[in-house]
Structure formats: structure tokens, C-alpha cells
Amino acid sequence: MKIKFVLVFLLFCGSVKAQNVNIIPQPKLVTAGTGQFTFNNHSSVGVNDASLLPVARYFQKQVNQSTGLTLNVDNKDAGSTIHLLLTNGDPTPGAYSLKISPEEITVSSSNRDGVFYGAMSLLQLLRDQPRGETISLQALAINDVPRYQWRGLMLDESRHFFGMEKVKQILDWMAYYKLNKFHWHLTDAQGWRLEIKKYPKLTLVGGRGNHTDSTADPQYYTQPQIKEIIAYAADRSITVIPEIDMPGHATAANKAYPQFSGGSVEGYENFTFNPSIDSTYQFLGDIIKETTALFPSKMMHLGGDEVALGVKAWSLNPSIAGFMQKNNFADVGELERYFFKRVADTALSTGAKVLAWDEATGTNLPADKAIIFWWRQNLPGQLHLAIQKGYQVVLCPRLPMYFDFVQDADHISGRRWKGVYNTVGSVYGFPEKSMQNNEDLQSKQIIGVQANIWTEMIGSEKRLDFMLFPRIAGLAEAGWTAPELKDEEAFDNRLKASIKIYDAANIYYFNPFDKFFH
Ligand code: TNX
């Protein structure tokens, strides 16, 4: 009895309550050690594999920016006190362990991503301490593993264009929070933002304008700029996925090359591509091939959303109606699936996976090469169907994963869905909190979660910050933290304690704990 008590007591002392360690997303297991490790301006970071050098350099740079310390980086491990190591551990991508003892710090993982995340956890611990000539950290051990392999953020740069520096800043914050997929919505009705060499008018004409000003000078990314962003993201263990939206949301492309337009519908001038002529498929095939060659992720998001708005135009267009008749298509839905299958086949032929919004679930795509993005939370049948058909699924329902929605009852600029909006707490609680009755949530085919920042109503960097922060911290936990470890009050405390870092970084964030400040 007595021994048992002592054992329980020791166990209690030995494991630091995870929520007392100020890391977002919360790690799986944190155990207290004894003593402290002290960093100074000569502390040296060593690596046991050349592939980890960019990780060490990134860590060095971030530590310098946020604490003022100047660490050394060594391309070998001997002689350093902070070790970044590739080892034979848990093979799960992103899993890592971090050990802080008075003598040394060891971050180890079987993979580069894991070492990177261990370094980001260490950075967060350092950032939490007061600045000084030296910074001491409590000895501890962390064993951590992500819940989901897809922890995504989508940015819409068609409606408003933000440019290289802002995108890089977002990638830095994604890295800080262990988010790993940057879904780049580069085309839509309001502007085409991706240079395609074969069709220069896409950007020169289609890149003109944005949601607030249809006459704004063309804004877009050149291919060298795209490569720069991809490399910047890769350094931070982030994969970049391009989206070319079709057959709807195509107005910008139609302005540039009207010969491929599927016609107009009230309120949406030239909203679609024309699915009845071979030249449209040639045109889109060229674009898809140039795009997949540019993005090493070998993932091509083809959109597929909200075509219902445009198919009215298809049935009104006599040549499209004739094409349907000739092919015995029962309705425009069948034509839509025909279109999507044909463009998807081109993407697949380049070796890329095909990604699409949940409208495309009806298309027969190869199960192991398609990922469906479920966004219509009012249509759970779409999620069910996608799983039944064997597709992998990313969960990004409007509620709570749309960051163009307001995050507080008092906020005016932003969307609501039947009065409901997306607080940081609702994002944190996702998916359990809003999907507790949905059995599909248990499916292994659900590979992760994603927040989408649509930017019709986000016209400045400040507004973008305001919509993104601090919900990005909630997103990080939704993607990473095991559901049994979730505790909203503890999250609030960690967030409260860390919100000051947004001030230091000049982020124009919403403070849910002091909401009248902004
Ligand atoms: C629906 S989500 C859209 C976007 C809008 C968004 C606004 C999706 C696949 N399509 O085009 O920007 O709603 O919340």
C-alpha cells in the first residue's frame, strides 16, 4: 500500500502536465527531468546528416530573431551540445523526440520532418523565456507524433493578391505550428495568378483586377517566383499544392481566352469552360502539364466546386446542348462528370494525384490517386460517398474551417453561415466537437484537416492577419493533437501565454481574451 503510494507520487512528479509546457500544438507526452540546460551565444547545433543542415540553419535564424541569441551551426555532430539527429525511431512522418538534459539537447527522428518539428518545439520553449545573454530551459523529455498527415492551410490569391513576402510570412507561421500543406488557390473568377508560358494572356489579361477593383494592374507569380516559394516551403517541411479551378470559377481565364468559355449566367459572366469542344481540353491539358511540371508535390487540385452556378449556361448554349444530345448525356451533371474525368486523366497521366472539392466525388477517379476536400458540412452524404468510393479525404467544412468567416459575435467584416461563425475554440475542437455524431470520422481514409482563407472580403494584409490569427493556433491543434489530450481551457491558457509573440512579430491579430483592444 505504502509502496504503491510512493510509486504513484513519483510518477506524478515525473510527468509534467503537458499543458504546463507552452507548446502549440500540444505534444503527446512530456516528462520532467532534473536541472536545466543553458543556451549562450556559443552554443552549437550539430547534425548527423547533411540533409538536416537547412533545419539547423532555420532553427539558428529563428532563435536569433526571437531571442537575440547567436547559435553556431556545425555540419557534424561531434563537439556540439544541441544535436539534430536522424535515427531509427518511430517511422511515422513527423514523429520526433526532444530531450533536454543539463549537458545537452537531442532532437531525434527517423525523418527530416520529425527533426524539423522537434526543433520547432524547442524554438517555442526558448521563445517563452525572458531574453538575455543566456537562456535556461528546464530538463524534460518530449515524445510526439502528429494525429494527421495532412495539416493544411489554403490561401485564395485570386480574389485578392498578397505577394511573395506575405506568403513567406504565412509559411513561417505554418512551420512554427507544424502545418505541412500549403494549398494555393491561384485561379478563380477574379484573377489568374500563375504564369503559364504557353498562354501568356492568362496572367497579362486574366491577372488584371481583383475582387475590389476589376481594373487593378495584373498581379501574378512568375514561374521563378513560384519555384522560390516552393523551395522556401520545402525548407520548412511544407508541401505546396497548386489549384487551378475548373470548370467553374473560370471567368479570369475566359477573359484572356474567350474561345474556351462555356457562356454566361446571370451574376457570373463567363463562369465556366466550354466542355463540348476538344480545344478546351487541349488548352486545359497544356496548363495542367505546365503546372504539374512546376510543382514537385505531384498533386494537382482541379477545383470542381460550385459548377451548378454555371451549368445553367451550358444548357442555354445551343452547341453545348447539341453535344449533350449527341453523347446521350441525361443532364448537365453527366456532362460535368465527363469534363472532370477528362481533365483529371490528363493530370493523372503526368504522374500527379488529382485533388478536388467534394462536388467531384461523383466522378469516377482511381481511388488511390484522388483526394477529396469535403467543405459542405451541410452535405455529410458527400463525405460518406467519398469514403465509400475509397478516396482519401481532407476535412475542411465551412464550419469551422473557413477563415473568411468572422471569429467573434461583434465582428462585421466577414461571413457567417445562418448566423454561425468560427471562433478559435471551435477550430481547436475540430473535428470531434462539430462532428461527434458522424461515424465516418473514424475512417482511416480521412488524412487530415485544412482551413481555407477565401479572400473576397479580405483586401489587405492586416485583415488577412486578423482572420488568420489566432485561429491558426487552433488549426495546429486540430491537425496534430490526439483527441484524448484535448482540453479547451488548457489550450486557452497556452494561447493566452503565447499571444504576445504576435505583438513582437507585428501581426495584426484578434485577441479573444481582450477583444476590445483591437
Ligand atoms: C465557396 S469553398 C467557395 C469559394 C468561396 C467561398 C466563400 C469552395 C470550394 N468554393 O469560391 O470563396 O465559398 O466562403
9 belongs to a structural domain: no
For ligand 1, atom 8, which residue shows the shortest CA distance?
A: 305
DSSP tag of 116: H
Q: Measuring CA to CA, which residue among 181, 180, 316, 337 is closest to residue 261?
A: 316
- Ligand 1 centroid – CA 454 distance (Å): 7
Tell whether 2 is covered by a domain.
no
Q: Are residues 42 and 122 in the same domain?
A: yes
Q: Is 268 in the pocket of ligand 1 (CB under 6 A)?
A: no
Domain CATH number, residue 407? 3.20.20.80
User: How far, in Å, CA of 375 to CA of 392, rounded?
Assistant: 14
pLDDT at 346 over 80: yes
Q: Are residues 389 and 475 in the same domain?
A: yes
Q: What is the rounded average pLDDT of the residues 274-301?
A: 98
Do 107 and 115 contact (CB within 8 A), yes or no?
yes
Whether residues 97 and 202 share a domain: the answer is no
ipTM of predicted complex: 0.96
Same domain, 323 and 424: yes
pLDDT at 2: 44
Indicate whether 14 pLDDT > 70: no
| Domains: count for the chain | 2
The verdict on 282 and 395 lying in the same domain is yes
Q: Per the domain annotation, does 430 fall within a domain?
A: yes
Per-residue pLDDT band for 516 (boundaries 50, 70, 90) equals low
Could you say which of 120, 144, 168 is where a domain stops? 144
User: What is the per-residue pLDDT for 463?
Assistant: 98
Q: What is the arithmetic mean of pLDDT over 310-333?
A: 88
Last-in-domain residue among 93, 120, 144: 144
Distance 334 CA to ligand 1 centre (A): 23
306 is catalytic: yes
What Rg do the C-alpha atoms of the chain give, in angstroms?
A: 24
Q: Please work out whether the CB of residue 415 comes within 6 Å of at least one atom of ligand 1.
A: yes
The verdict on 402 and 498 lying in the same domain is: yes
Asked whether residue 327 falls in the same domain as residue 430, the answer is yes
Question: Per the structure block, which three cell numbers stand in for 61?
Answer: 535564424
Q: What is the spatial distance between Cα 224 and Cα 226, in angstroms, rounded to a whole number?
A: 5
Q: Is residue 248 part of a domain?
A: yes
Q: Is the pLDDT of residue 50 over 90?
A: yes
Q: Whose CA is nearest to atom 6 of ligand 1?
A: 454
- Predicted confidence (pLDDT) at residue 9 exceeds the cutoff of 90: no
Q: Do 106 and 130 reside in the same domain of the chain?
A: yes
What is the Cα 238 distance to its own chain's centre? Answer: 9
Q: Decide if 514 is inside a domain.
A: no
Q: Are residues 33 and 160 in the same domain?
A: no
- Read off the CATH number of the domain in which 25 is found: 3.30.379.10
| Tens of pLDDT, residues 153-208 | 999 999 999 999 999 999 999 999 999 999 999 999 999 999 999 999 999 999 99
Residue 451 inside a domain? The answer is yes
Among 269, 290, 306, 461, the active-site one is 306
512 occurs within a structural domain: no
Between 312 and 211, the higher pLDDT residue: 211
Q: Which of 23-37, 66-80, 288-302, 385-399 has the lowest mean pLDDT?
A: 66-80
Residue 1: inside a domain: no
Q: Which pLDDT does position 440 carry in this prediction? A: 97
Q: 444 and 485: one domain?
A: yes
Question: How many Å apart are CA 447 and CA 370, to the nearest integer?
Answer: 12
Q: At which of 91, 122, 144 does a domain end? A: 144
Name the pairing type of β-strands 353-357 and 370-374.
parallel
Give the pTM: 0.95
Domain that holds residue 38: 14-144
- Per-residue pLDDT tens digits for 408-462: 999 999 999 999 999 999 999 999 999 988 999 999 999 999 999 999 999 999 9
| 36 and 102 belong to one structural domain | yes
Same domain? 103 vs 173? no
Q: At what angle do helices 488-498 and 471-480 cross, to 10 degrees?
A: 130
Looking only at the bridges linking them, the beta strands covering 239-246 and 191-192 are unpaired
Band (pLDDT 50/70/90 cuts) for residue 518 is very low
